[in-house]
Chains A and B, each alone.
Chain A
Amino acid sequence: MENHRFVLVGVGGQGTLLASHLLAEIGLSLGLDVKKAEIHGMSQRGGSVVSNVVWGKPVFSPVVGEGEADTLIAFEKLETLRYLPLLKPSGAIFVNDHEIEPITVSAGKQIYPNNADIEATLHKFTTKVFWIPANQIAEDLGSARVANTVMIGVVLKGLGVELDYGVRTLEKTIQSRYLELNLRALKAGYDWLAISNHKG
């Protein structure tokens, strides 16, 4: 198969690495060759973070370059824009409709773009944009911390991967204390896309 390249972006501390890990493991369980590349260190302290997951047969480069990503998964709105140039023309964007002000904005030096501008910009790149109230869905389940797993649920549905692959991967990966909540989050995301009248 052609390589399918994912870019996952967010803010340090949001759990982008865990989400990438889940996605990579799911790819492996689908019988694909997988590479997952991430950057650790300083940016984990509330900075802008990005990781790459590539599914394929076989995969060589772990790094997704400009215009190469099939799917951009963003855990924070502003970060979607920052990494947009990585997206392939007409690639798909899954964006968590959640805002975390960077220090440059709260210090009054720069302005956080408004929703209309963000949407307009995303639509210049592609028509396949899914806005997901992932934090809201996660909070309704009991904790905003599982917003990532909600997002992965939505993405699986979007890619047409059976939910069961996600479930089995969570069972292998997540500590038993948090497993139940994460399974519900995965399913909630999956169902959200199945029933919602999302834009896209």
Chain B
Amino acid sequence: MKRLLSGNEAVARGAWTAGAVVGSGYPGTPSTEIMEIFARYPGVYAEWAPNEKVALDVAIGAAYAGRRAFATMKHVGLNVAADSLFYAAMTGIEAGLVIVSADDPSMHSSQNEQDNRQYAKFVRIPCIDPADSQEAHDFAIAAFDLSERFDTPVLLRLTTRVCHTSTPVEVSEQRFVSSDPIKYPRNVAKYVMVPANARRRHGVIEHRIQEISQYAETSPLNRMEIRSSQLGIITGGIAYQYAREVFPEASILKLGLVYPLPAALIRNFASMVERLIVLEELDPFIEHQVRLLGVELYRGKQTLDTPKGIFPIVGELNAQIVRKAAIEAGLIEGEMLQTSPSFPMELPQRPPVLCPGCPHRGAFFVLSKLKVPVNGDIGCYTLGLTEPLNAIHTCGCMGASIGVAHGAAVAGDQERHVAVIGDSTFFHTGIPALINVVYNRSNVITIIMDNRVTGMTGHQDNPGTGKTLQGRDTTEIDIENVVRALGFTYVKTLNGYDVEGIEKTLKEWMKISDPAVLITREECALLPEARAKYVPLEVVEEKCNGCTMCFRVGCPAISKSEKLDPRYQRPLAVIDPSLCTGCEICAQVCPRDAILFRNQVLDKQEIDQ
């Protein structure tokens, strides 16, 4: 029976079927579910590593020890892991090693849209690019085989649309069991990359990539679909689907192995069709290589030499975009689909916001009040940037907040900088940045917003939660102790909802010139244990005068009621009981005690009964 699996689920299943026994990753959209699913299979070890480089080193270590292993991450994670990627490409492995990189064209949940096929070319390793879940499953298995056959890591490159699209998959119930554990290799020339050895290995990997391109000529990962000879399309990954949809009659060279390319196959295909085009998402990765082969591509009505022939270089494709570009290039006849009637009204935006009861809200409320420059980081707490808090001024990549704040401080910026970072991000790359602050003595104040989980990617455990990915109890790393051990003297842990305490502490620290770390600790309001404690608060209408203080905390549960304050004619506040968790941040900021605290609400309920 076919099952509906997302690309991520299919990769996890494929890795299990291929006999992978070790998986290490760092959660990142759109890759996260791969490791979560893999962790549930029998006979495997799966973990969350503190960052992608660690994850890849772990997988490399397992592959050196003769066990099939893989590491998962989102595209930008491969930047963090790049150092390890390059040495692993040099050394090769004993058992299959696969690196899964999930790219995010159109940046649905990312800071850039880098095309990680480029990494494969950069490091001289094969890159496999599936087009749906069945291929994600089959290609994952093929990737391990390819890795062992050519003694190389393999990059399994996914994109958001493959990761998070579910399509039917035929799976096998049998698992490939790798051969008996090997004796750990003592092969210094291969595995110790001192210059003398590394120089020899460089020659080896250049030769290897030549061999793999020979293999690519006949690999079942690549296939020709011959239909009409008028138009030929070279494509790979999700773009294949758009090719089939928009050009049902065209002949297609579907590349599963998108690096290295099969030169003879491409030339052969080109000779069979009148017009040849390349259809791919993002970079002209295949297109450039095909041009370098001297194969002529159809460029439509274009006269200028643009980086990409026909299709857009920015953003995700879809069948519509492909169709439009194809019509413009004169590849297909047709008018654009009748566009919809013009839109008569302006719609209010609905940006993501911190959830009602989010424990990050307390510190952001204080920061926006203090009006200090805040260097932000990647996670739920990035949402501190939104109205009405407006409390974040920069955000680059995981772990950047502290370093960027330090940079401003040592550059002599007059204002005191506050860096914010989450618990998971602290473990990811925050620690070295904090070491730098204390070592090079800047006055950065760092707030570690510890919500006891990795929030934005959907609640994964991390070194601070006391649980592993596979649910085992483990050492819970105490952030405050770590920070003290780094040498900070001003360190304090407060409850995330303690608005007054946070304000008082930050104001005190603004007066001294030492670096300091405030840990705001409170579990994410969406965790099941937190949900169980919800007590919705109430506004006492007689006391509220619509002063708007509580609106400024930016909680989605608070809105303006229809009722007006008789004196100023301002709308009163009202709390939606189906959304409010009872975090009491609004109650703390109300100057008129018009919002009942939890125990007041509970007392009132008792009296009512």
Q: From residue 2 to 29 of chain A, which have CB atoms closer than 8 A to chain B?
A: 11-13, 21, 24-25, 28
Q: Report the bound CA distance from A43 to B355 in whole Å.
A: 11
Stretch at the interface among A79-87, A149-157, A175-183: A79-87
Q: From residue 557 to 584 of chain B, which have CB atoms closer than 8 A to chain A?
A: 558-560, 578
Instruction: Verify B4–A36 contact, CB threshold 8 A.
Output: yes
B354 / chain A contacts, CB cutoff of 8 Å: 45
Residues of B bordering A, CB below 8 Å: 2, 4, 29-30, 32, 108-109, 132, 160-161, 164-168, 241-242, 244-245, 316, 318-321, 337-341, 343-355, 380, 382-383, 386-388, 456-458, 551, 554, 556, 558-560, 578
Instruction: Verify B387–A107 contact, CB threshold 8 A.
Output: yes
Instruction: Verify B29–A36 contact, CB threshold 8 A.
Output: no
Instruction: Verify A39–B320 contact, CB threshold 8 A.
Output: no
A81-111 vs B: 1/0 string, CB under 8 Å?
1101101010000000000011111111111
CB of B335, distance to nearest CB on chain A (Å): 12
18 A-B pairs besides A39-B109, A61-B245, A67-B338 with CB distance below 8 A are A21-B166, A28-B4, A35-B167, A36-B166, A37-B165, A44-B352, A45-B355, A45-B383, A46-B353, A47-B353, A59-B167, A62-B167, A65-B320, A66-B340, A82-B350, A103-B387, A109-B387, A110-B346
Q: Is the C-beta of A160 less than 8 angstroms from some C-beta in chain B? A: no
Q: Please pick, from B161, B167, B340, B578, the residue contacting A84 in the complex, using a CB distance under 8 A.
A: B340
Q: Is the C-beta of A48 less than 8 angstroms from some C-beta in chain B? A: yes
Give the top 4 A-B pairs by smallest Cβ distance, nearest first: A41-B109, A65-B320, A47-B352, A110-B348
CB of B24, distance to nearest CB on chain A (Å): 21
Instruction: Verify A78–B348 contact, CB threshold 8 A.
Output: yes
Q: Report the bound CA distance from A48 to B351 in whole Å.
A: 7
Q: Is the C-beta of A63 less than 8 angstroms from some C-beta in chain B? A: yes
Instruction: Verify B109–A28 contact, CB threshold 8 A.
Output: no
Q: Please pick, from A34, A45, A61, A67, the residue contacting B4 in the complex, using a CB distance under 8 A.
A: A34
Q: Report the bound CA distance from A104 to B339 in whole Å.
A: 29
Output the nearest chain B residue to A88 by Cβ-Cβ distance: B337
A52-71 vs B: 1/0 string, CB under 8 Å?
00000001111111111000
Q: Please pick, from B109, B168, B244, B350, the residue contacting A104 in the complex, using a CB distance under 8 A.
A: B350
Q: Report the bound CA distance from A184 to B293 in whole Å.
A: 63
Sample (15) of A-B pairs whose CB atoms are under 8 Å apart: A34-B4, A36-B167, A44-B458, A45-B354, A45-B380, A61-B242, A65-B321, A67-B339, A68-B320, A103-B350, A104-B348, A104-B349, A105-B348, A108-B551, A125-B341
A112 / chain B contacts, CB cutoff of 8 Å: 348
Output the nearest chain B residue to A41 by Cβ-Cβ distance: B109
Instruction: Verify A40–B559 contact, CB threshold 8 A.
Output: no
Instruction: Verify A37–B349 contact, CB threshold 8 A.
Output: no
Output the nearest chain A residue to B108 by Cβ-Cβ distance: A39
Q: Is the C-beta of A140 less than 8 angstroms from some C-beta in chain B? A: no
Q: Report the bound CA distance from A174 to B558 in whole Å.
A: 32
Q: Is the C-beta of A191 less than 8 angstroms from some C-beta in chain B? A: no
Q: Report the bound CA distance from A110 to B348 in whole Å.
A: 5
Output the nearest chain A residue to B455 by Cβ-Cβ distance: A45
Residues of A bordering B, CB below 8 Å: 11-13, 21, 24-25, 28, 33-48, 59-68, 78-79, 81-82, 84-85, 87, 89, 101-113, 117, 121, 124-125, 144
Assuming the contacts A45-B380, A85-B343, asked whether A12 and B349 have C-beta atoms less than 8 A apart, the reply is: no
Output the nearest chain B residue to A51 by Cβ-Cβ distance: B164
Q: Report the bound CA distance from A108 to B548 in whole Å.
A: 11
Output the nearest chain B residue to A62 by Cβ-Cβ distance: B165
CB of A29, distance to nearest CB on chain B (Å): 10
Q: Please pick, from A11, A117, A144, the residue contacting B578 in the complex, using a CB distance under 8 A.
A: A144
Instruction: Verify A85–B556 contact, CB threshold 8 A.
Output: no
Q: Report the bound CA distance from A44 to B387 in whole Å.
A: 17
B456 / chain A contacts, CB cutoff of 8 Å: 41-42, 45
Q: Report the bound CA distance from A107 to B560 in whole Å.
A: 9
Instruction: Verify A66–B560 contact, CB threshold 8 A.
Output: no
Q: With a 10 A CB-CB cut-off, give which of B319, B340, B348, B456 has the most chain A CB atoms.
A: B348
CB of A110, distance to nearest CB on chain B (Å): 4
Instruction: Verify B350–A62 contact, CB threshold 8 A.
Output: no
Instruction: Verify B161–A37 contact, CB threshold 8 A.
Output: yes
CB of A40, distance to nearest CB on chain B (Å): 5
CB of B385, distance to nearest CB on chain A (Å): 11
A108 / chain B contacts, CB cutoff of 8 Å: 551, 560
Output the nearest chain A residue to B340 by Cβ-Cβ distance: A85
Assuming the contacts A39-B160, A66-B340, asked whether A78 and B350 have C-beta atoms less than 8 A apart, the reply is: yes
Instruction: Verify A102–B349 contact, CB threshold 8 A.
Output: yes
B316 / chain A contacts, CB cutoff of 8 Å: 63
Q: Report the bound CA distance from A79 to B161 in whole Å.
A: 22
B346 / chain A contacts, CB cutoff of 8 Å: 110
Instruction: Verify A40–B458 contact, CB threshold 8 A.
Output: yes
B388 / chain A contacts, CB cutoff of 8 Å: 107
Q: Report the bound CA distance from A139 to B328 in whole Å.
A: 51
Instruction: Verify B168–A28 contact, CB threshold 8 A.
Output: yes
B339 / chain A contacts, CB cutoff of 8 Å: 66-67, 85
Q: Report the bound CA distance from A64 to B161 in whole Å.
A: 12
Q: Report the bound CA distance from A169 to B316 in whole Å.
A: 32
Q: Report the bound CA distance from A103 to B456 in whole Å.
A: 19
Instruction: Verify A42–B348 contact, CB threshold 8 A.
Output: no
Instruction: Verify A106–B166 contact, CB threshold 8 A.
Output: no
CB of A80, distance to nearest CB on chain B (Å): 10
Instruction: Verify B2–A28 contact, CB threshold 8 A.
Output: yes
A33 / chain B contacts, CB cutoff of 8 Å: 167-168
Q: Report the bound CA distance from A140 to B4 in whole Å.
A: 33
